Amino acid sequence: MQKKVLFFCGFFALPLLVFAQNIDPKELTEKISELNNAYKYDSAIIKLEEIINHPSSTSIDRYYAYIEKALTYKRLYNYAVVLNNLNYAVEEGRGTAIEAHAEARVKFEKMFIHFDLLDFQQARYHFDKITERDLELVDPPIKAFYWNVAGTFKIREGKYEEAEAILRQGIAVIENENPEHLPAVYCKLVNLAEHTRNPELAEWAFEKGIYYSKKYGIDIYKIRMHYDMSHFYLKMDDYKNAYFHERMGSELSGVYNAPVQSGNLNMVEKELWKKRRELERRYERYVQIFLTVTSVILLAFLVVLYQLFKINKEKRYFIELENERMREELEEISRNATQGDKQLEEARESLSDRQLQIIELVKQGKTNKEIGNELFISENTVKYHLKIIYNVLGIENRFDLK
């Protein structure tokens, strides 16, 4: 029975072992970024939900899916959902080989959220909690965004030269590996130029940022570049250029339409939730059916075992009865044999030596004629002696004598 249970457990666990996912995080990031850059946010969320809810997904798979989901909603400025997914991500990372990386990554992302919301007090709080070890654990783009935040704090402190050095350091970090994110750094250089009233730096940073935004088709960076340039020209009292960049940013925002996209994603997630709930209910029904069938089979098996036990018990009972009967018969035979031997001993005194000789020869299985030849007497004489022997011993024939 134990072997059968182990077999069934192994049978149902086998698909999970064979089809375990172990996704490539780099490929996932590239795929989700490609979908998001094409405004296919619903496709991105559906793909991530498939990973999160797939029965073969590992905790590490789900961690990366939650991170990408948070980044997708971050593009649409839905920061409440971003925070929820970051919390899910760090929970999935706990107890795994990437636990330290997961905790570090979520630290950075929470800092970026407060920074994007211009909540500099909270951003500074999270910024101060980040260690050198955390920086070693994250990828180059995260480091570059970290330098963005560090540069912004230097700008706010009036340390412009230090700020520019830090921002250029960020550019150097991601220029070769992740150039699609360079506009995020160039935006901060435009902000720096606003404080230093440096048109050359602002225009250079804007041209660079727009170039990479167009090259990689990331409209959110185009929007930010135009709005940042609009603020710069307002600071410079150049209202014509300020208006131009404000209008360009507004037009791109209309196409981007983050609130509508976010609302659409909420609808997609609700639909996915309904489908998932239906699958869960169906799975529960299958489990119920399986348990019912298993219970019936187990009950039938127990009934068969009971019947076999009952039959074996009855069989043992009849065997014991038969053994008792045979034992009594053997005792009876033994008693009869003992009694016969006793009778023979008692009868020996009434029998002659010749008759005792005939008894021994009969026991040896010899016929009357053979006995007569051996004792040199006639066959009739042998019969006469046997008649006397039968009468003395109280028996009827030679078989009883044997």
Residue 337 within a domain:
no
Domain with residue 381: its CATH number is 1.10.10.10
pLDDT, tens only, 260-287: 445 555 555 556 556 656 666 776 777 7
Q: Check whether residue 356 and residue 400 sit in a common domain.
A: yes
Query: End of a domain among 112, 138, 164?
Result: 138
Residue 301 within a domain:
no
Q: Check whether residue 55 and residue 89 sit in a common domain.
A: yes
Query: End of a domain among 198, 223, 256?
Result: 256
Residue 233 within a domain:
yes
In angstroms, the Cα distances linking 322 to 312, 319, 333 are 15, 5, 16
pLDDT at 88: 94
Residue 232 within a domain:
yes
Residue 30 within a domain:
yes
Among residues 46, 53, 84, the alpha carbon closest in space to that of 276 is found at 53
Look up the domain containing 384 and give its range. 350-402
pLDDT at 193: 92
Residue 6 within a domain:
no
**Structural contact between residues 154 and 162, judged by C-beta atoms closer than 8 angstroms:** yes
pLDDT at 3: 40
Q: Which amino acid is at 357?
A: Q
pLDDT at 10: 42
Provide the CB-side half-sphere exposure for 255 (13 A, CA): 13
Q: Check whether residue 66 and residue 134 sit in a common domain.
A: yes
Task: Give kind and range of the element (H or E) at residue 285.
Answer: helix 258-348
**Structural contact between residues 261 and 76, judged by C-beta atoms closer than 8 angstroms:** yes
CA dist 365 and 19 (Å) reads 85
Q: Check whether residue 384 and residue 367 sit in a common domain.
A: yes
pLDDT-flagged residues of the chain (< 70): 1-21, 254-280, 283, 333-348, 402
Q: Check whether residue 384 and residue 354 sit in a common domain.
A: yes
Domain with residue 190: its CATH number is 1.25.40.10
pLDDT at 383: 83
pLDDT at 139: 87
CA dist 198 and 307 (Å) reads 97
Output the DSSP codes for 188-243. HHHHHHHHHT-HHHHHHHHHHHHHHHHHHT-HHHHHHHHHHHHHHHHHTT-HHHHH
CA dist 191 and 155 (Å) reads 8
Q: Check whether residue 183 and residue 134 sit in a common domain.
A: no
Which two tokens mark 127? 């910024």
Query: End of a domain among 256, 291, 323?
Result: 256
Which two tokens mark 289? 């059916």
Q: Check whether residue 33 and residue 56 sit in a common domain.
A: yes
Q: Check whether residue 134 and residue 148 sit in a common domain.
A: no
Q: Check whether residue 96 and residue 184 sit in a common domain.
A: no
Q: Check whether residue 400 and residue 358 sit in a common domain.
A: yes
Residue 126 within a domain:
yes
Q: Check whether residue 31 and residue 131 sit in a common domain.
A: yes
pLDDT at 5: 39
CA dist 37 and 45 (Å) reads 13
**Structural contact between residues 397 and 359, judged by C-beta atoms closer than 8 angstroms:** no
CA dist 357 and 379 (Å) reads 14
Residue 397 within a domain:
yes
Among residues 114, 52, 72, 51, the alpha carbon closest in space to that of 264 is found at 72
Number of domains into which the chain is organized: 3
Q: Check whether residue 91 and residue 177 sit in a common domain.
A: no
End-to-end Cα distance, the chain: 59
Phi-psi region of 227 (alpha: psi -120 to 50; beta: other; left: phi over 0): alpha
